[in-house]
Structure 1
Amino acid sequence: MTRRLNTFVHVDGVAYGPDSKVPASVAKRIGDHAWQDDDAPETPAAPVEAPPRSGRGSGIDAWRAFAEQNGVGVDSDMSREDIIAAAEDAGAVDREV
């Protein structure tokens, strides 16, 4: 029985997701909650609400996680504003007016 990630995680600045080959040295640092058996049925993820654009919870880590959970491609050198713009362009979040 093999396991695969059921979500996206970051370990030492590297992102891993359900289709990633995770090295054993990294896999042992990821909690059991982030894994599923390959033969287990996938449960649909709950809808993810966009982080606030200002104030508590509006940091780059929150926006990066939101973007990745919604299939928006992000790079490690992107700023928070770049990530928000990419999420807007992908239709994952409404544009701010």
Structure 2
Amino acid sequence: MAKKIGEFAVYVQDGEGAVHGFLPGQVVPAWAAKQMGDHCFAQEGGEGSADEPVDEPPAPPVDPGDAEDPADPDEEPAGPPPRHGAGSGEPAWRKYAEDNGVDVDGISKRDDIIAAVADAGVPVE
């Protein structure tokens, strides 16, 4: 008998190490159901029971590497931070410098970082 996930989402790892998520009401494949306890499944006649149809497809596997670095490695670095107002502080300019390959270790002032970036030929405007 097909089992459906109960009230909460459940995540399990397949034999190859990929993580799969199952949302409430989704039918669970046998390999995944073997890893789950009865508390993960809908009770007969209750909310999310096996009698209710499920419209959504199973969630795709989650790649833990995606969460660590969402930036596209082929993507060009973003433009310079603003000079004034929100987002114009030393941390933003330090990140911009590092993203563009400018060594700013040992430089603590924002204006000095901006000068180092400009001296390296990286746009600051």
Partner letter of residue 83 of structure 2? R
Distance 1:58 1:48 in 2: 14
Determine the structure 2 residue equivalent to 1:89: 119
- Scaled by the length of structure 2, the TM-score of the pair is 0.41
Unaligned ranges ≥5, structure 2: 1-65
- For the 8 Å contact 2:80–2:123, the answer to whether it is kept is yes
Q: Higher relative CO (CA 8 A, sep ≥ 6), structure 1 or 2?
A: 1
Query: Which TM-score applies when normalising by structure 1?
Result: 0.51
Percentage identity across aligned positions? 47
Q: Which residue of 2 aligns with 1:34?
A: 69
> Any runs of at least 4 consecutive aligned residues in structure 1 with deviations exceeding 3 A, and if so which?
none
Task: Specify the structure having the higher radius of gyration (Cα).
Answer: 2
Q: Which blocks of at least 5 consecutive residues in structure 1 are unaligned?
A: 1-30, 36-41
Work out the number of aligned pairs and report it.
59
Q: Which residue of 1 aligns with 2:88?
A: 58
Name the amino acid aligned to 1:43: P
Structure 1 counterpart of 2:102, from 63, 66, 72:
72
